[in-house]
Amino acid sequence: MIEVRDLVKRYGDTTAVDHLSFAVEPGRITGFLGPNGAGKSTTMRLILGLDRPSSGSALIDGLPYRDLRDPLRYVGALLEARAVHGGRSAFNHLLYLAQTQGVPKRRVSEVLELVGLSGVAKKRTKGFSLGMGQRLGIAAALLGDPKILILDEPVNGLDPEGVLWVRQLLKALAGEGRTIFVSSHLMNEMAVTADHLIVIGRGKLQADMPVGQFIAQFSDTAVLVRTPEAEALRAAAGERGWTVADTDLDGALIVTGSTAPEIGELAAARGLVLHELTPQRASLEEAYMELTRETGEFAHRPAPAWGGADGRA
C-alpha cells in the first residue's frame, strides 16, 4: 500500500503538490488523473524518494522509500520513457538495475521477452521508438517482480495495440494482488483501465473514489442519434419521458435519460430508420476537465457541451 499524508512540494513560489493525502490499495488499479502540470509526476517522484517533500510524507507499507531494503523487489517504477542512456543497450540498461540488488541476469532476458523486446535486446536504445522506450520502462518496472507498481503515463506514445497490451497487463498484475498506481491525463483511458480514481488539479486532491461512482456522479447518459425520421423519433422519445436536443452537427440529435439499447429497441418497435446510435461520454471528460480546472469546485456539474469537435471528446 502507498500512503501519502498531507504531502506538500513547493518550488520557490509555486506549489506543485498542495497538502495531498490519499492511499493506494493493493489488488486494484488506481488511476492517478490530472491534466499536464497538475502535479502527478512530482507526487510520484516524492513517493520514490527522488525529490524531498517540503512537508508531509509518502510511505510504502509504512516505510519511506529510502528505507526499503531492496526497492526493486518491492516497487517497480516507470517514470519517463526516456530515463535511459541512449548509448547503452536495452539488456545492459536492465542489467545494471538488476545488479544493484542481486536480481539474476536471466531475469533481464525474461522481462525483455515479456515486453516483446528480445529481438532488440542488444541494440542501443537511442534508436528505439517512443513505444519501444515505454516497453523497456515497463520491463524495468517488472524486473524485481515487485508487489507495487508506480507507472507515470505508461501508454504515452504507444500504438492502439500497445495501449491494449498495457491495459491487459495492468489488469492481470492487479488480479495477482499487486498494488498498481498509474497516472494519465486522459479520462477516457482511465475510465476503461482503472478500478479506482484519484484526481488532482493544481496539486490538490479533487476526487478519490471508485471509477463507477465517478462515472455515475459525473456523466450524463446521453446518446447521439442520426435518423432521417427525426420528428417521429422525437415524438416517440417524448412519450417515454426522454429528453431530445438538437445539435449543431447537421441533423444529429442527443437523447438523454436513456441508453443506446433502449433507443434502438424503441426505433425498431416503431419501424424507424437509424443511421447512427452512439453512446456519449463527452460529459465525463468535461466533468473531469472542469474538476481539475476549478480547484475546490468538486461538486460542480458543468453544463453539457454537445456537438463539440467530434462529439466524443
Partner 1 sequence: MSTVTDKVPVFAGLAPLPEAKGRAGFGGALRSEWTKIRSVKSTLWTLAAAIVIGVGISALGNWGQSSHTTETAVELAHKDLVQRTMFGIILGQLVMVVFGALAVTAEYSTGMIRTSLSAQPRRLNVFFAKLVIVTLVAFVVGEIISFASFFIGAHFWATKGVTLTLSTHGALQAVIGGGLYLVGAALLAFGIGAALRHTAGAITLGVALLFVINIITNFMPTSWQNDIDKWLPYNAGSQVWATQHVADVGTSFSAWSGFGVYMGYAVIALILGLWVFERRDA
Task: Answer yes or no: are the C-beta atoms of 140 and 78 closer than 8 Å.
Answer: yes
CA 151 to chain centroid? 10
DSSP state of 3: E
Q: Quick one: 86 or 279, whose CB is closer to partner 1?
A: 86
Q: Which is nearer to partner 1, 19 or 88 (CB)?
A: 88
Tell me if 123 contacts partner 1 by CB under 8 A: no
130-142 vs 105-114: helix axis angle to the nearest 10?
130
Instruction: Quote the least distance from Cβ 189 to partner 1, whole Å.
Output: 17
Q: Which grid cell sits at 135? A: 516497453
The CB-side HSE value for 222 (13 A sphere, CA atoms) comes to: 25
Least Å distance, CB 160 to partner 1, is 10
Element (H, E) at 99: helix 90-99
The DSSP symbol for 74 reads H
Nearer CB in complex with partner 1: 102/228: 102
Residue 51 host element (H or E): none
Per-residue string for binding with partner 1, 273-312, x by CB under 8 A?
A: ----------------------------------------
Count of residues binding partner 1 (CB under 8 A)?
60
Residue number with CB closer to partner 1 (95 or 274) = 95
Q: Is 62 in the site for partner 1 (CB under 8 A)?
A: no
Contact present, 33 and 135 (Cβ < 8 Å) = no
Q: Which is nearer to partner 1, 129 or 213 (CB)?
A: 129
Cell of 175: 488480479
Instruction: Single out the segment in contact with partner 1 by CB under 8 A; choices: 94-102, 185-193, 195-203, 281-289.
Output: 94-102
Q: Does residue number 50 form part of the binding site for partner 1 (CB under 8 A)?
A: yes
Inter-residue contact 205 to 243 (CB < 8 Å) = no
Distance CA 54, CA 9 (A): 5
Our finding on whether 233 is near partner 1 (CB under 8 A) is no
Part in contact with partner 1 (CB under 8 A); list of ranges 22-30, 167-175, 181-189, 274-282: 167-175
Of the candidate residues 18, 51, 208, 294, the single one contacting partner 1 (CB under 8 A): 51
Q: Which of 3, 25, 110, 294 binds partner 1 (CB under 8 A)?
A: 110
Cell numbers found for residue 216? 455515475
For partner 1, which residue of 6, 55, 80, 210 counts as binding (CB under 8 A)?
A: 80
Residue 207's CB is within 10 A of a number of other CB atoms, namely 19
Q: Which of 95, 103, 97, 131 is nearest to 116 (CA)?
A: 131
CA distance 256 to 266: 14
Q: Chain centroid to CA 64: how far? A: 25
Cβ closer to partner 1: 52 or 231?
52
Single out the residue of 149, 151, 150, 113 nearest to residue 134, CA to CA: 151
Q: Cβ distance 195 to 33 under 8 Å?
A: no
Binding partner 1 (rule: CB under 8 A), the pick from 66, 240, 293, 312 is 66
Choice from 161, 248, 250, 310 touching partner 1 (CB under 8 A): 161
180 φ/ψ angles, rounded to the nearest 5 degrees:
-120, 120
- Selected range binding partner 1 among 140-148, 258-266, 288-296, 300-308, rule: CB under 8 A: 140-148
Pick one of 79, 194, 198, 284: the residue that binds partner 1 (CB under 8 A): 79
Residues forming contacts to partner 1 in the complex (CB under 8 A) are: 45, 48-52, 65-66, 68-73, 75, 77, 79-80, 82-89, 92-93, 95-97, 99-104, 106-107, 110-111, 113-116, 124, 135, 140, 142, 144-145, 161-162, 164-165, 168-169, 172-173, 176
